[in-house]
Amino acid sequence: MASGASAGRFFTFGKEYVPLDQWARANSFQWKWVSKNETHAWSGWSKMQFTTDSKRMVLNGVNVLLSEPVKNRDGVPCIANIDLATAITPVVFPPKHRARNQIKHIIIDPGHGGKDTGYLVGQEQEKKYTLLLAQELGEQLRKAGYAVSFTRASDTFVDLPVRPELARRRGADLFISLHFNSAGYKSSSVSGVEVYCMTPQRASSTNARGEGGNSGAFDGNANNAKNMLLAYQLQKAITHTAGLEDRGVKRARFAVLREARMPAALIEGGFMSNPAEAKKIYSAAWRKQMATAIANGIASYRKAVEP
């Protein structure tokens, strides 16, 4: 017999689901269906929008890609427990640092470098623009009072596993990896920003079609909640102030996220394969705006976690 606390929970394809009414009661949220497939849930501070059979939810105005689709069971929306625990709770009930455990040192990781050009679109190389954005961001963060370091400060090749290792040795409190995207010349209309954080253990990555569902824990999983909150605050700040379409907070076991010993996120800051977006990426004025948005996201994260 199910106990009171777990009544109504069920498993499907090995994933535990929790009825939203039960979760809402326990966490002082209200909820209602707003159409046949759309549910809203809200409290004084947070609003969530779910779509039946979809992994895409909207959390306080930001798209978040869940690990499992939302289900409708007997007229009640049900959310996978892993998503409640690792995607929703870290944002609506942020994890707090212990006193004196402050964010002082940020390491910026400009994607690619040297023989690794990253995406090539026409004559343009991703590695050049990740470094330029990193330099702009570093300058702004130093002005805001942080100690800043870089995994590379010039056009040099740095192996992926070396990057989180450098962060650890330097005692960085946050790891921010910068990249730009490409969808190929046939998909020049694809646009927008996505921020990735480490996939929780036993969950699927966003683009992996179920891959890694049995994956165990890596170093990066020690900070599941903070990784999510950081990615969410970055996505929110970038989509609200740098004028990029919101493609959502996503999950991936990228090497730099997997091995990071501190909260970490990887920003795909727009598509070089989209001519309008490429123009922004190649412009110093826009990169300045983008760096400000990232710095704002870090400030919001810090405000949420510091005691």
Binding site for Zn ion (CB under 5 A): 111, 118, 179
Cβ proximity of 121 and 278 under 8 Å = yes
Q: How far is the CB of 244 from Zn ion (least distance, A)?
A: 16
CA distance 1 to 241: 51
Q: How far is the CB of 269 from Zn ion (least distance, A)?
A: 10
Q: Which residue has the tokens 């040192």?
A: 105
Cβ proximity of 147 and 86 under 8 Å = no
Q: How far is the CB of 179 from Zn ion (least distance, A)?
A: 3
Question: Beta 124-125 vs 120-121: how paired, if at all?
Answer: antiparallel
Q: How far is the CB of 79 from Zn ion (least distance, A)?
A: 32
Q: How far is the CB of 223 from Zn ion (least distance, A)?
A: 22
CA distance 129 to 291: 12
**Nearest-CB residue for Zn ion:** 179
Q: Measuring CA to CA, which residue among 298, 305, 16 is closest to residue 146?
A: 298
Cβ proximity to Zn ion: between 111 and 220 the closer is 111
In the 8-state DSSP scheme, what is residue 85? I
Residue 27 CB-density burial (10 A; 0-12 exposed, 13-18 middle, 19+ buried): middle
Q: How far is the CB of 130 from Zn ion (least distance, A)?
A: 7
- Which helix (H) or strand (E) segment holds residue 141: the answer is helix 126-143
Q: How far is the CB of 127 from Zn ion (least distance, A)?
A: 8
Q: How far is the CB of 126 from Zn ion (least distance, A)?
A: 5
Cβ proximity to Zn ion: between 59 and 266 the closer is 266
- Tell me the sheet residues that pair with 124: 121
CA distance 47 to 44: 8
Cβ proximity to Zn ion: between 58 and 255 the closer is 255
Cβ proximity to Zn ion: between 200 and 270 the closer is 270
Helical packing angle, 126-143 and 284-305, nearest 10°: 50
Cβ proximity to Zn ion: between 84 and 160 the closer is 160
Scored b (16 or more CB within 10 A) or e, 61-91 reads ebbbbbbbbbbeeeeebbbbbbbbbbbbbbb
